Amino acid sequence: MAKEIKTIGVLTSGGDAPGMNAAIRAVVRKAIGNGVKVKGIKKGYQGLLNEEIVDMEKKDVSDTIQKGGTILGTARCPEFKFEEVQQKAAEICRAHEIDGLVVIGGDGSYRGAQALARQGINTVGIPGTIDLDIACTDYTIGFDTAINTAMQAIDKVRDTSSSHERCSIIEVMGRNAGYIALWCGVANGAEDILLPEKYDFNEQSIINNIIKNRKFGKTHHIIVNAEGIGHSTSMARRIEAATGIETRATILGYMQRGGSPTCKDRFYASIMGAYATDILCAGKSNRVVGYRNAEFVDFDIEEALQMKKEIPEYQFQVSKLLSQ
């Protein structure tokens, strides 16, 4: 028989992402609606180990849905990989009467949730990352805001790039994944889109493309480069030397992780927060919430971690064709 859940905890872990607050708000309000108490754990697994745990009421999440970042704070906690640390964390949960935990984060954070489930604490993960690099879901909290922020920034760089007839390399985040680069590359009408999953390191073909476009009369050349490839500054130097065209690198960096979440991120994060709470209250454990084929679903964490995600080939081919 499923154990009765009286109190749940919620934490955010790994890189923050716009929309995390909407998810926290939904967890708090849905749990209270279900007759369950909620405790907020500050600064991810590190805060759990430090017992930075506070009671949360409905009013504590007022005026948060529109805010970027995470009201609970987040952290990376490398020692959470060790079993004795996981055991201690489970004991702390029990001491605070936390029977279930919602973990909002990425793949790494799910491994922590899986470890806690092994230690007897019911856990459910929610995908929170701007990178969209979680295989079991077509949506991750923060991606939509991040691509819109990056898209607007790239439009601005394009204005000045055209005025000066320069080539611009704009580096976007995504860790080892190219989803932000792919979406912005298409949405910004970039001339070259470099994705870590697909890049062949053939810089000469980029150079040829720039020279061809310049002859054709284009005054700008936008290259959207993914963080997973990196080296934008040295790439710019080499391209300028080879083409004779002034080339600048812009690394968008952390601005992509901040800011008020889009409507989509607020909405999906709210539904996922409620969904995670409901399955936790129903006694499920070691699960992760996803969005697939227009439905909110959940998977076993191990099964989710085994899944592979690839850049959809058709989207990649279209992105190449449209950039020419």
CA 72, CA 240: separation in Å to the nearest integer?
A: 45
Helix (H/G/I), strand (E/B), else coil: 271: helix
Amino acid identity, residue 1? Answer: M
Q: Does residue 123 belong to the site contacting ligand ADP (CB under 6 A)?
A: no
Sign of CA dihedral 228, 291, 309, 101: positive
The two structure tokens encoding residue 303: 């099964």
Residue 39 or 257: which CB sits closer to ligand F6P?
Answer: 257
Q: Does residue 105 belong to the site contacting ligand ADP (CB under 6 A)?
A: yes
Q: Which of residues 135-194 bind ligand F6P (CB under 6 A)?
A: 173-175
Q: Does residue 107 belong to the site contacting ligand ADP (CB under 6 A)?
A: yes
Is residue 131 part of the annotated active site? The answer reads yes
Q: Which residue has the tokens 């991810």?
A: 44
Residue 106 or 290: which CB sits closer to ligand F6P?
Answer: 106
Please state the closest distance from residue 304 (CB atom) to ligand F6P, in A. Answer: 17
Give the interface size with ligand F6P as a residue count (CB under 6 A).
9
**Among ligand ADP, ligand F6P, none, what binds residue 105 when CB lies within 5 to 8 Å by partner kind?**
ligand ADP
The side-by-side arrangement of strands in the sheet containing 37-41 is 53-56, 37-41, 7-12, 100-105, 122-127, 287-292, 295-300
Residue 197 or 240: which CB sits closer to ligand ADP?
Answer: 197
Residue 33 or 78: which CB sits closer to ligand ADP?
Answer: 78
Please state the closest distance from residue 206 (CB atom) to ligand ADP, in A. Answer: 31
Residue 131 or 191: which CB sits closer to ligand ADP?
Answer: 131
Single out the segment in contact with ligand ADP by CB under 6 A; choices: 101-109, 186-194, 208-216, 250-258: 101-109
Q: Which of residues 18-57 bind ligand ADP (CB under 6 A)?
A: 45
Helix (H/G/I), strand (E/B), else coil: 113: helix
Please state the closest distance from residue 309 (CB atom) to ligand ADP, in A. Answer: 13
Which residues partner with 8 through β-bridges?
38, 100
| DSSP letter assigned to residue 4 | P
Distance (Å) of CA 249 to CA 42, 200, 223, 268, 282: 37, 20, 9, 34, 51
CA 10, CA 126: separation in Å to the nearest integer?
A: 10
| DSSP letter assigned to residue 137 | -
Catalytic residue of the set 107, 131, 133, 265: 131
From residue 241 to residue 280, the character string flagging contacts with ligand F6P as x (rule: CB under 6 A) and all else as - is: ----------------x-----------------------
Q: Which of 131, 171, 192, 298 binds ligand F6P (CB under 6 A)?
A: 131
Residue least distant from ligand ADP (Cβ): 108
The two structure tokens encoding residue 284: 């499920």
Distance (Å) of CA 312 to CA 143, 146, 220, 290: 17, 20, 28, 18
Distance (Å) of CA 157 to CA 150, 166, 181: 10, 10, 15
Q: Does residue 80 belong to the site contacting ligand ADP (CB under 6 A)?
A: yes
Nearest Cα to Cα of residue 211 among 122, 51, 203: 203
Q: Does residue 76 belong to the site contacting ligand ADP (CB under 6 A)?
A: yes
Q: Does residue 130 belong to the site contacting ligand F6P (CB under 6 A)?
A: yes
Distance (Å) of CA 210 to CA 39, 129, 153, 324: 55, 33, 22, 10
Residue 144 or 191: which CB sits closer to ligand F6P?
Answer: 144
Residue 88 or 199: which CB sits closer to ligand F6P?
Answer: 199
Catalytic residues: 131
**Binding residues vs ligand F6P (CB under 6 A):** 15, 129-131, 173-175, 227, 257
Binding site for ligand ADP (CB under 6 A): 13-15, 45, 76-78, 80-81, 105-109, 111-112, 115, 129
